[in-house]
Structure 1
Amino acid sequence: MYKKTAMTCVALGFIVLGLQGCATAPQGMTAEQLARASEVEFVRPYELSRTDVEFISVGPVQGQSCASHLLADNASQEQALMEMKLAAAERQANRVVLKQCRQDDNAGCSKRWLCEGDAYQAQPLQ
């Protein structure tokens, strides 16, 4: 009986932690920034050739997540992607083509995720 109860508690703990991670905004992002970033969608490069939408390039964008020391939160790819979407939103873009994400230890970070892409403003043809 004890083992079954302990295993249930451990399983519930993992579920709660998983839900908590999904419910919170990435490190350092306000609710307003999160809302603006969520308005930007990822598209695949071949989608830029659609004939029912005009894609206007607004330039390259990037986002990064940095863990600067041992006590800092871990750098995450999710955070870097959200930062990239926020950078696109600041340029009035609503679509991003992801070029790459990579992990390194540059720019004064002990761990860093850097994501790069191209931002576009998608407008329906009239």
Structure 2
Amino acid sequence: MTFQVTFDCADPAMLSTFWAEALGYEVQPPPPDFDSWPAFLAAQGVPEDRWSSAAAIVDPAGVGPRVFFQRVPEPKTAKNRVHLDLRSGGGLDVPLDIRRARTEEAAARLERLGATRVKAVEELGVYWVVMRDPEGNEFCA
């Protein structure tokens, strides 16, 4: 069994681009025998006004889960019950000062991509930065 992570959002193309850059993923290519997603969607009879209602990104190494973005009409109104933790600092075998520096570098890169920094936290020998993606979804770097 495999799984994908799904984000409800307002702008699937924008959010998929952000997360592809953040995770080192790529936008999922169209199925074989189709040179573009519009060609595939047209062949499936999807109305043109729905072509931008979803997007997906995939791990180019084929290891991580697919991430799917689907347009929903309602805005985000509360804290996420599930969020992504980007393990940017390394494992607990890496000294805390190095993990902290790596995490700060990752947070700065994510801010340049459009994320918002909420706060840095250091507890019980662990350091992370709470952030929000361009649509306000919480995640940690």
TM-score by length of 1: 0.29
- Compare relative contact order (CA 8 Å, sep 6+) and give the higher one, 1 or 2: 1
Instruction: Tell me which protein shows more strand as a share of its residues.
Output: 1
**Larger Rg over CA atoms:** 1
Instruction: Tell me which protein shows more helix as a share of its residues.
Output: 1
TM-score by length of 2: 0.26
